[in-house]
């Protein structure tokens, strides 16, 4: 990367003006951008991905500052019941988005529910990535019996339907947010393991890896310092594409009463609690449902934009 950037900057000296000052050619300057700088430049050209990024940032900020929204905007806590004002329409009785069947503020529960839903998705993604990257890197780097064992485990795991397995596990145990994230990660690491294994197989015999071996670097150091940084781009894309699926998984389990349990709100159990009021207060179903859709769609579009920005074959100079 350094040699390429140096040569690009050298080529950027395009012409000399009459006054003797040097001007830099814009096309050469673009080539002089670093890898991540060029990636951000390409991503910014994707207007749909930028809109999706803005939506995702708004959702995340609303979730992170849910306590402030509760204190300064709505004035309600997510569990406080106001039975005389139950089933209020949006804008009635001081409820911005209305109230549910127990008189709880819908907006407050929405932002607190997003905290639970996104936390489950985030923790699950981290757990899946940790297990998958460890096993995938070991399988791709060491090969032989390690590769065979990991590959067979991945085949077995991918042959089992994930959602029915999670339903079985969560029906036997009643995990909290951390426990639910752990169970999701435990049954979902097969795909990323196969992805990372394939990437490690591509680069384990390259010159810089052989050079690291010659200098006496241990296998652990080679994997951590030389191989895994080259896997980061595909991991970033994988994270942005898998999070929508994890959000939907949490919502499905909570809707079935097997995920995040009351009184802790989540987008899934908000749907479950509001289904009986669909005919009279359809917004109680629409608001959390549309939020799930918007969050999943925005992260998915971000992932698509990152994939295009990171792929050199799709970059338009």
DSSP string over 167-199: HHHHHH----HHHHHHHHHHTS-HHHHHHHHHH
Whether residue 254 is preceded by a cis peptide bond, meaning omega within 30 degrees of 0, is no
| Ramachandran bin of 4, using left for φ above 0, alpha for ψ from -120 to 50, beta for the remaining angles | alpha
State the residue for tokens 């690291």: 212
Q: Domain coordinates of the chain in residue numbers? A: 2-32, 48-314
Mean pLDDT on 11-34:
48
Q: How confident is the model at residue 35 (pLDDT cuts 50, 70, 90)?
A: low
Question: Which among 285, 281, 262, 260 has a CA at the least distance from the CA of 78?
Answer: 262
Task: Provide the pLDDT confidence category of residue 233 given band limits of 50, 70 and 90.
Answer: confident
**CATH number corresponding to 48-314:** 1.10.3720.10
Query: Strand 22-24 relative to strand 13-16: parallel, antiparallel, unpaired?
Result: antiparallel
pLDDT, tens digit, for every residue of 123-141? 999 999 999 989 998 888 8
Decide which of 10 and 244 is more confident. 244
The whole-model pTM stands at 0.81
Neighbour-count burial of 128, counting CB atoms closer than 10 A to its CB (0-12 exposed, 13-18 middle, 19+ buried): buried
- The three-class DSSP label of residue 105 is strand
Is the pLDDT reported for residue 314 higher than 60? no
What's the burial of 116, exposed, middle or buried (CB within 10 Å: 0-12/13-18/19+)?
A: buried
H or E stretch covering 21: none
Q: Quick: pLDDT tens for 146-159.
A: 889 999 999 988 88
Of residues 2 and 292, the one with the higher pLDDT is 292
Taking the C-alpha atoms of residue 249 and residue 243, their distance in angstroms, rounded to an integer, is: 10
The token pair that represents 26 in the structure block: 């814009």
Answer whether 255's CB lies under 8 Å from 79's CB. no
pLDDT (average), residues 65-94: 88
Q: Give the count of alpha carbons within 13 A of 82, CB side only.
A: 19
Share of the chain above pLDDT 90, in %: 27
In this predicted structure, the answer to whether residue 34 has a pLDDT above a threshold of 90 is no
Confidence tier at 12 by pLDDT (50, 70, 90): very low
For 94-171, strand residue ranges (E) read none
User: What average pLDDT does the segment 91-108 reach?
Assistant: 88
Nearest in space to 89 (alpha carbons), one of 292, 294, 286, 267: 286
The pLDDT of residue 295: 94
Least-confidence region, from 33-37, 94-98, 310-314 = 310-314
């Amino acid at each position: 990367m350094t040699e390429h950037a140096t040569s690009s900057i050298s080529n950027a000296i395009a012409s000399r003006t009459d006054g003797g000052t040097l001007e830099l050619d814009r096309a050469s300057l673009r080539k002089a951008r670093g890898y991540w700088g060029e990636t951000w430049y390409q991503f910014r050209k994707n207007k749909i991905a930028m809109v999706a990024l803005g939506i995702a940032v708004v959702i995340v900020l609303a979730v992170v500052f849910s306590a402030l929204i509760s204190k300064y905007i709505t004035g309600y806590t997510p569990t406080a019941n106001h039975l005389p004002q139950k089933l209020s329409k949006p804008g009635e009785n001081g409820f911005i988005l209305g109230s549910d069947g127990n008189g709880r503020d819908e907006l407050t529960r929405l932002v607190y529910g997003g905290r639970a839903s996104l936390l489950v998705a985030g923790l699950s993604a981290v757990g899946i990535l940790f297990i998958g990257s460890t096993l995938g890197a070991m399988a791709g780097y060491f090969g032989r019996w390690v590769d065979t064992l990991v590959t067979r485990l991945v085949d077995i795991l991918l042959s089992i339907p994930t959602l029915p397995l999670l339903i079985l596990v969560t029906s036997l145990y009643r995990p909290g947010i951390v426990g639910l994230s752990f169970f999701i990660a435990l049954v979902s690491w097969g795909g990323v393991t196969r992805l990372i294994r394939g990437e490690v197989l591509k680069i384990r015999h390259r010159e810089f890896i052989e050079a690291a071996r010659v200098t006496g670097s241990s296998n652990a150091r080679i994997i951590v310092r030389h191989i895994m940084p080259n896997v980061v781009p595909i991991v970033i894309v994988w994270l942005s594409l898998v999070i929508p699926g994890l959000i939907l998984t949490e919502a499905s389990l909570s809707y079935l009463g097997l995920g995040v349990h009351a009184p802790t709100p989540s987008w899934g159990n908000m749907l479950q609690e509001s289904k009986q009021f669909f005919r009279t207060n359809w917004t109680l179903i629409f608001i959390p449902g549309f939020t799930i859709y918007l969050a999943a769609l925005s992260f998915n579009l971000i992932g698509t934009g990152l994939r295009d920005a990171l792929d050199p074959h799709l970059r338009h100079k």
